[in-house]
Structure 1
Amino acid sequence: MDPGSSPTVVEFLGHPFRLAPDAAPGSDGRALGDVLQEWAVRHLQAELPGHLANARTVVLGGRNHARTARVLREFTDNIEFADPLLRFDLPARVAGNPLLGLAVGAAAQPLHLLPDPVRSRIPTPGTIVSHALARRAARDADVVVATYDELVGFGLEDLAGKTLITSAVSDEQLAELGDRGVDLVLDCVPQPFDVTVTAAVLEAMMRSVAGGGRLTDDDMLDMIVDAGLEPRLLYPNGWRRKSRFAFVIHPLSQTFFSEVEPLGTITRLAPGVVNDLIEKAVAYAPPFTYSHVTGITSPTGAEAEGWLITVGGTPKELMAHSPEFTYARLLQAADIARRLGAQVMGLGAFTKVVGDAGVTVAKKAPLPVTTGNSYSASGALWAAHEAVLRLGIAEVDDRGVLHGKAMVVGATGSIGSVCARLLALASDELWLVSPETAKLLTLKHEIEGASPRATVHVAATPDDHLGDMDVIVTATSGAGKRVLDIMAVKPGCVITDVARPLDLSAEDVAKRPDVLVVESGEIELPGDVRMKDIGLPPGVAYACMAETVVLALEGRYETFTVGRNIEWEKVKEIYRLGLKHGMKLAAISGVNGVFTPEQIAAIRARALEARAVVATG
């Protein structure tokens, strides 16, 4: 109980007890303490699933947290010990040398006679050094395991944003820990009274209730249940949850090399052929952390931090090597993500296209993996809808319904079928185009069975109907093959290219300055986001990255989207979760980057001019 307090009479399971501030409890509390430590960790994991996954953990003290550390290893390998014996694995070294073991045992015998909390407070040169190292480690940690007394000298810079696993925390101590920035306190010792008690006091009470003899496991379990004891999850500054993610990026072109030193200097001094050599060489470089991402805060109060991890291959190099070449680098990136404490990892750009689109990587990675394709499909159509509104040519009512015609080329593919279902709810007429006639008829039947708004048509090729379309979505796997004749599209049409690789090249797009071709919808992340430049406005991310962030904010540490079959239900779910966590459509991107309002206005002007020529001709 709290030192310096007056004797207090409490009742436990119908028995009165007088708690004196300086009285010895009559039990060391180890039997109950071990149970409570393990139960508390499992209770936290049950209440906040995934909270401890890959968590960077620092354990202060030694044997007094042994059970906690052992259970934590089920959820994370990122554990560092402040105890010099554990930090340097001295027990294993001593065990390998019998004579040394006898000497160490004899020298340490006086210390073993002391209770663990007392022994842990005796300073030695080793513990002083380890304490300094632990403070440094705690600054990068997610979880700290320590008693309140073991946190002497730890301040805001050490504990801010951390989860603290401890025991017997009083209200005054909890408030003080809140001032030091602790987010969550897991108190392993239940506190059924108005005064704070330790595991030793509770165990002594249990022994007394049991008649003063041996306290069996059955006795302990019965009393825990009968007294309604439970570990405490305490939020000294109000409810908060911070999740951790990683996202894999890679250079999209040789331009990236000019922005990263020392490659930038080399490319400026020796451009041309040297760039090609650098491009090939960098593809073999090991992954590295490009940026720490902080400040992401959902309207729900959930927070997320993450790391951008880059692999060196450009799209040209990734496609030139075998899938196994890229898998190896992605698994290296996953290992970096694990060591950083990430709970979920996303694959960006061409890393999610190679091979089986993330399936193999997800199976072998030490943490859940998502390609982000569910939110990419949703974001692309979100951007298409916004593009139609900004152009202001096609008729859209107050509910966002397009009073015109839409087409999906590659409608029987995984992303294409999702886009078709979305457009069927938001347009008057919908054309489904695919050479797979049987699948096409099945898709038409399924969409019509879901009572769409649109009248649904089917065609094997798009050519005969392109000139009538207000919106076209291309979602094929043509990989460079001609998908549609852009010259046949009517002025002012919005084309959304969700295929990867893209169905329409920059050269194709340049032929029609009166058509708006959308490559993707970029997402504004919630909060005061801080990360290095990724070629987008500050605080804006690619939709595939945003999916990873949404999963982190929601506490869904799972393999959400992998493979080439995108599930309709997941597209709807990730869109809904994105809105819940404050995601907004930030930008509309084309093959040459983000469209400015001036560029969209220019496309509108050319489209209206071209339509006027057609009308008068």
Structure 2
Amino acid sequence: MVHMLFLSALLLLVAFLVGSAPVGHAVLSRSGVNVRVTNAYNLGVENVLHRVGPGLAFVTALLDAAKGFLAILMASSVNSPELSVLAGLAAYLGHLNPPRALYGQTPPRGRGNLVLLGVMAGLAVTGAVPLWVAALPVVVYAGVAGFWGYVTAATLAGVLAFTLAVAALPLGPAAKLAALGLLVAAGWRFKENLGRMLDGTEPRLGEAVPMAGRRSDEVVAAFMIHPMTLENFWSARRFAWLRPLVEKGLISEAGVRQMAESLRPMKVGELQGIRTTDGKSIRCYLLSSPLLPDVFRDNPDLATRRAIEGARLAQELGAEVFGLGAFWSVVGNKGVDVQAAVPDITITNGGAYTSGTIKAAIPGILAHFAAEGRDLKQATAAVVGANGVVAFGIARTIAPQVGKVIMIGRDLERLERSAATLRRAAKDTEIVTTTSYDTLKEADLIFTATSDPNPVIFPQHVKSGAWIFDEGRPADVDESVQAIPGVRVIPGGVVRPPGGMTSHIDLQFGEGQVPACLAETLIIAATGEHGRKSLGPQTLTENINFFVEQAAKLGFEVVD
């Protein structure tokens, strides 16, 4: 008895190791294929066929199926149907979770469908289960895939059919639990695909996933977003079901926040229909790890780790450029650490074109201000967030044109160093530095560009008739400021891409419009000028000018 238990355990261990062997990965690697980009889990069989050709695709598929078949064949030596089903589960788990102790950095994992096919073939050939039980999941898979088109749904339906069939057989509880384990493992493996189905972004059979280099007139980019509030969190279809549970008190808001912090980056949408004036089509994946703004401040290490994971996902999806939006743009030393961790894809924080859109918008704002009979030389302008690169750029632009500039920031010593530079360049302008928002009450013009997750400008800070250019994302100006007589709030850094952009994700910049940092990501992809990426705190003037010029050529429009 002990001997049989030992032999059974050994066979299950061997089945796991056989299933974990990255044979397909090894064949593709030796053939010079980029195995991280050629990842069936993200791209699907059709795109793998396109990437590597039918010959290599067939060989790797056959090897994966052979792993499942071999595991069952070895287990059949004991002549125990229960052990054979358990061996199938062990091989599948090994394929999904190859141990790092053996293979180092875990290779990209496939869906495991071909391993399951090999398991079913092995169970049928060895007689561990009746032929109809092994054939049933294949028939169900084909029917669901043909009718609905989702490989995810077809796989889970097939495994469910197998689990129910095994439950109906006169087998021991070990076999029934093993079949249930296959269903649970497949469900966990496909959880992200299920989320994409809910969001409407999971491709069906026949809908090839766009990849860099697939079409000569199409480029692919990716952009990282996050919810600004729980309201944004609910807007994703895959999380909408949580809202009524929170409202009824069945789940706490703190519990939802904790869950959001545990989620790895996922694909939540796409921007389609963007086409430049020179005929280049741009498709952009929207990725998200749903961290709320306070997490970026309180746990920057987690935010950086999620940004790195997002960059890897973007690369696996075939994107050439990965943009960091909103608070993602400040993590990891403003993208430097993310680029170092994922060197094979271009990372940008979007700072250059963001500065460019401001540079392009300011002359128009000042001209409109003057056209209303207001004397710029007698006007006081305030710049909020002046410790930052973008806000200091604003201060440098407006200083020679107004009578007084109030620079507001958190670090007074740094502000004074910046102010000294401005005083040398604009000798006739009074430059004041302060950390107090109360001084905003003097300003006729307010330019604000902070990275604060909450509004920083309220009615008590603003006088009647002031104009406010709000570059903050999320907005620096509280909505209540709009009620002050004569106040005009102008959103900054909003761009309309060329063509008819569509997306089911509301980016909250207006229909058909995107933030400038996202537009920079698209422009890099369209031009192929990857060296123009924005990383770190410094933004080169030549890159700012480049994006302004290229945006105009490609048909991007700054929204006034």
Give the TM bin, normalised by the shorter chain: 0.5 to 0.7
* Aligned pairs for 1:483-522 within 5 A: 487=460, 489-498=462-471, 504-506=477-479, 509=481, 512=484, 514-518=486-490, 520-522=492-494
Deviation at 1:337, TM superposition (A): 0.9
State how far apart, in whole Å, the 2-side matches of 1:422 and 1:84 are: 60
The equivalent residue for 1:102 is none
The equivalent residue for 1:474 is 448
State how far apart, in whole Å, the 2-side matches of 1:257 and 1:412 are: 31
1:339 and 2:316 matched: yes
Q: Is the 8 A contact 1:477 1:499 kept in 2?
A: yes
Pair 1:472–1:270, CA change in 2 (3 A): closer
Q: Secondary structure at the match of 2:405?
A: strand
State how far apart, in whole Å, the 2-side matches of 1:342 and 1:402 are: 48
Q: Is the 8 A contact 1:300 1:581 kept in 2?
A: yes
Q: Is the 8 A contact 1:370 1:561 kept in 2?
A: yes
Q: Is the 8 A contact 2:471 2:493 kept in 1?
A: no
1:415 to 385, 390, 400: 390
State how far apart, in whole Å, the 2-side matches of 1:465 and 1:258 are: 38
State how far apart, in whole Å, the 1-side matches of 2:396 and 2:514 are: 25
The equivalent residue for 1:152 is none
| Structure 1 residues without counterparts, runs of 5 or longer | 1-65, 94-132, 145-160, 163-182, 184-240, 588-617
More helix by share: 2
Deviation at 1:583, TM superposition (A): 1.5
Aligned length: 383
Q: Secondary structure at the match of 1:283?
A: helix
Deviation at 1:478, TM superposition (A): 7.5
State how far apart, in whole Å, the 2-side matches of 1:85 and 1:466 are: 66
State how far apart, in whole Å, the 2-side matches of 1:263 and 1:438 are: 45
* Aligned pairs for 1:244-323 within 5 A: 244-271=220-247, 273=249, 274=251, 276=253, 277-320=255-298, 322-323=299-300
Deviation at 1:576, TM superposition (A): 2.6
Q: Secondary structure at the match of 1:88?
A: helix
1:543 to 516, 522, 530: 516
* Aligned pairs for 1:131-150 within 5 A: 139-140=208-209, 142=211
Q: Secondary structure at the match of 2:345?
A: coil
Deviation at 1:263, TM superposition (A): 2.9
State how far apart, in whole Å, the 1-side matches of 2:210 and 2:433 are: 56
State how far apart, in whole Å, the 1-side matches of 2:237 and 2:34 are: 39
Q: Which TM-score applies when normalising by structure 2?
A: 0.57
Q: Secondary structure at the match of 1:533?
A: coil
Q: Secondary structure at the match of 1:353?
A: helix
Pair 1:269–1:421, CA change in 2 (3 A): same
Q: Is the 8 A contact 2:455 2:478 kept in 1?
A: no
1:328 and 2:305 matched: yes
Q: Secondary structure at the match of 1:301?
A: coil
1:359-412 Cα distance to aligned partner (Å, 9 max, x none): 211211231111112333343565566666778875489xxx888443324435
State how far apart, in whole Å, the 1-side matches of 2:528 and 2:515 are: 20
State how far apart, in whole Å, the 1-side matches of 2:452 and 2:38 are: 43
Q: Secondary structure at the match of 2:429?
A: strand
State how far apart, in whole Å, the 2-side matches of 1:270 and 1:348 are: 28
State how far apart, in whole Å, the 1-side matches of 2:316 and 2:451 are: 36
Q: Secondary structure at the match of 1:308?
A: strand
The equivalent residue for 1:528 is 500
Q: Is the 8 A contact 2:384 2:447 kept in 1?
A: yes
Amino acid at match of 2:493: G
State how far apart, in whole Å, the 2-side matches of 1:381 and 1:85 are: 52
State how far apart, in whole Å, the 1-side matches of 2:301 and 2:413 are: 34
1:406 to 381, 384, 399: 381
1:553 and 2:530 matched: no
Q: Is the 8 A contact 1:388 1:394 kept in 2?
A: no
Q: Secondary structure at the match of 2:460?
A: helix
Q: Is the 8 A contact 1:448 1:456 kept in 2?
A: yes
Amino acid at match of 1:548: T
Pair 1:549–1:330, CA change in 2 (3 A): same
Amino acid at match of 1:460: T
Pair 1:140–1:479, CA change in 2 (3 A): closer
Q: Is the 8 A contact 2:419 2:432 kept in 1?
A: no
Deviation at 1:268, TM superposition (A): 2.5
How many percent of aligned residue pairs carry the same amino acid?
23
Query: Which deviates more, 487-496 or 472-481?
Result: 472-481
* Aligned pairs for 1:96-495 within 5 A: 139-140=208-209, 142=211, 162=215, 183=216, 241-271=217-247, 273=249, 274=251, 276=253, 277-320=255-298, 322-365=299-342, 366-380=344-358, 394-395=372-373, 404-424=379-399, 427-433=401-407, 443=418, 446-447=421-422, 455-461=428-434, 466=440, 468-475=442-449, 487=460, 489-495=462-468
Deviation at 1:540, TM superposition (A): 0.7
Deviation at 1:347, TM superposition (A): 0.7
Pair 1:413–1:252, CA change in 2 (3 A): closer
Q: Secondary structure at the match of 2:247?
A: coil
The equivalent residue for 2:179 is none
Pair 1:396–1:530, CA change in 2 (3 A): farther
1:517-576 Cα distance to aligned partner (Å, 9 max, x none): 445331111112122232333321112111111222221224622223344443333223
Deviation at 1:494, TM superposition (A): 1.6
Deviation at 1:327, TM superposition (A): 1.9
State how far apart, in whole Å, the 2-side matches of 1:418 and 1:485 are: 24
State how far apart, in whole Å, the 2-side matches of 1:325 and 1:248 are: 15
Deviation at 1:252, TM superposition (A): 1.3
Q: Secondary structure at the match of 1:82?
A: helix
Q: Secondary structure at the match of 2:464?
A: coil
The equivalent residue for 1:597 is none
Q: Which structure: larger Rg?
A: 1
Pair 1:361–1:402, CA change in 2 (3 A): farther
State how far apart, in whole Å, the 2-side matches of 1:143 and 1:344 are: 10
* Aligned pairs for 1:62-77 within 5 A: 70=32
Q: Secondary structure at the match of 1:561?
A: coil
Pair 1:300–1:275, CA change in 2 (3 A): farther
Q: Which TM-score applies when normalising by structure 1?
A: 0.52
Q: Is the 8 A contact 1:344 1:558 kept in 2?
A: no
Q: Is the 8 A contact 2:280 2:526 kept in 1?
A: yes
Give me the CA root mean square deviation.
4.4
Deviation at 1:486, TM superposition (A): 5.4
Pair 1:465–1:266, CA change in 2 (3 A): closer
1:570 to 529, 535, 543: 543
More strand by share: 1
1:84 to 43, 55, 67: 55
The equivalent residue for 2:116 is none
